[in-house]
Structure 1
């Protein structure tokens, strides 16, 4: 598989290292091209990661590409993805895949007319602990999931937002709900399944941005389970944590940007010591990360099968993002399936807009 990486900023390095690591798992892939609007940066990236060629023109290398990894800022994802799919090239996109549900629906339409497939990076779905929890729930060994919490409590100093595309609806798509917490509540959905309704609030409390810097939501799932979600960029002690309370046990994950089996805690319910032995670490398992996702993804590409994360999976998570914003900005409960073409939150996560003023109307950043 000949691979092109589009966008050679920080996250592209994780993609390049994972592509190199595929060989250890029986997948034959080579980084053929590095493409960036900055020619010097593309050249430096190619030299560092062993890409055979580099340049600034994506269209010129698609004919020599089997898989395109899109690592640009989110605002550039949809055009590159659609172009690749129309050229019959598989696409792996960094999160968030698009700035809106409308853009994702455009990608789904392009994929439907292509021999190639699309997937988004949600690498935490592929850690051993998550896969083990999902299997135990599917087998009924832990009973029904009942209550969950999902917290992305991160810290981004004001300087972080000096990068021009950050903190803006038109280029980043949203704040921590869209660009940071999405990894954790994607895990929540991977465990609990489809969501049915959400009530939320959001605020711009401390950062000089157009988007929110914190949001909170209460979510009911189709199964009846209930969960809380917090997404913050204002939390000095950073942590990413999830807790699942089932009929038979509490299962907890505490990490920051990636986890191994050591980051999970399993606590049987009173009188349910029988379930304790069911939770077993796997020392040979890959930690959650890009390689853990790319191994089964590339195997699916080679076999002509759907990747383990489909556009349908991506849409369920992105629809929850849109619902959180819609509930936060309108004060209404939002139910799954309500946000479709014609809804302001289908075309933009900003939708009808938050109560606070755009940054350009605020003057100097608050101290």
Structure 2
């Protein structure tokens, strides 16, 4: 018989999408309590999803012994403390992106998790779109060949109204701009396909809105597997698109342009010869569709907990993602290519916040 895991959710913003994922996995999860400082949104979500208890006090969730998982879906600056307290209270943790505000925090959380025997899963739900999963399948079958070049565009629109939410657009609370908060999913898909990055050179600017953080950025990346990538992000594109294009020796894979579900079908897979195209098409014909997004990631997390295996998205995955962010911010500020991995002697290891914001945060 399948064990149903009990989840306490903290947050009422992006948490709404998490709750849909739990609803689609009702045989695997139940949500008995939701915590949010926003009473109107919190109570509305409880009513909509049949959650019996609402609270504004996260301590109540940590103190309960009938919860298996704490789901952290709050603004980024609160993630580390909530994850730490949840792990130390004996719960597994699911945490939204961006996970934390430094590589040092990721490394410290890895030590906390290792001591606890619990598991922490960062959110990267875009990985589970069927288009991207088909590319992974073709690579596993040896049909892609050596990787050459990847191009990723995250071109969205965010006007002034978006930044009326008090924590957005500020270093101290959002921890970064479009590179960290918007393009992070697409860039994780780069790491998911090719592994870790080796070096980045970047330009970044604040061009679209009067905010503290960047809203437009261009990156040139060397991957550890020897391939190259160009990544562009702007929140000033009136036509919103996300585009991923992977060039291999034997195959080109291209995503759809839909900005928020670009991992989903229909992707196109173009081989170099008719004979190879036939082999590609035969493998794709045998692909078994799964649920995607949060639904699939939560399903895989349940399986990992039951089998005592690593989560489908790990702290190392989050580290790879945040290393790219850290290196890009450092390159932007120094005008120099920045190698990875980011180690404890790197100037931005403990924070990529600009010096003034870092000082204010330390004194807060």
TM value normalised by structure 2: 0.90
Worse-superposed segment, 71-80 or 52-61: 52-61
Q: Secondary structure at the match of 1:280?
A: helix
The answer on whether the counterparts of 2:86 and 2:92 sit within 8 Å (CA) in structure 1 is yes
Q: C-alpha distance in 1, partners of 2:43/2:272?
A: 56
Match of residue 150 from structure 1: 152
Distance 1:261 1:182, change over 3 A: closer
Worse-superposed segment, 307-316 or 37-46: 37-46
Deviation at 1:95, TM superposition (A): 0.7
Equivalent pairs counted in the alignment come to 349
Which of 91, 94, 97 is 1:95 aligned to? 97
Worse-superposed segment, 303-312 or 196-205: 303-312
Match of residue 330 from structure 1: 334
The answer on whether the counterparts of 1:149 and 1:243 sit within 8 Å (CA) in structure 2 is yes
Match of residue 308 from structure 1: 312
Q: C-alpha distance in 1, partners of 2:38/2:208?
A: 33
Q: C-alpha distance in 2, partners of 1:5/1:193?
A: 31
Match of residue 267 from structure 1: 270
Pairing 1:97-116 to 2, within 5 Å after superposition: 97-116=99-118
Distance 1:287 1:302, change over 3 A: closer
Q: CA RMSD, aligned part only?
A: 2.0
Worse-superposed segment, 340-349 or 104-113: 340-349
Q: Secondary structure at the match of 1:346?
A: coil
Structure 2 unaligned blocks of 5 or more: 358-364
Deviation at 1:3, TM superposition (A): 0.6
Pairing 1:79-94 to 2, within 5 Å after superposition: 79-94=81-96
Deviation at 1:287, TM superposition (A): 5.2
The answer on whether the counterparts of 1:216 and 1:231 sit within 8 Å (CA) in structure 2 is yes
Q: C-alpha distance in 2, partners of 1:282/1:19?
A: 28
The answer on whether the counterparts of 1:101 and 1:318 sit within 8 Å (CA) in structure 2 is yes
Which of 233, 236, 245 is 1:234 aligned to? 236
Q: C-alpha distance in 2, partners of 1:218/1:240?
A: 17
Deviation at 1:293, TM superposition (A): 0.9
Match of residue 29 from structure 2: 29
Q: Secondary structure at the match of 1:258?
A: coil
Deviation at 1:129, TM superposition (A): 2.3
String of CA shifts for 1:259-297, please: whole Å, max 9, x gaps.
465330111124643444245267862453110111111
Match of residue 187 from structure 1: 189
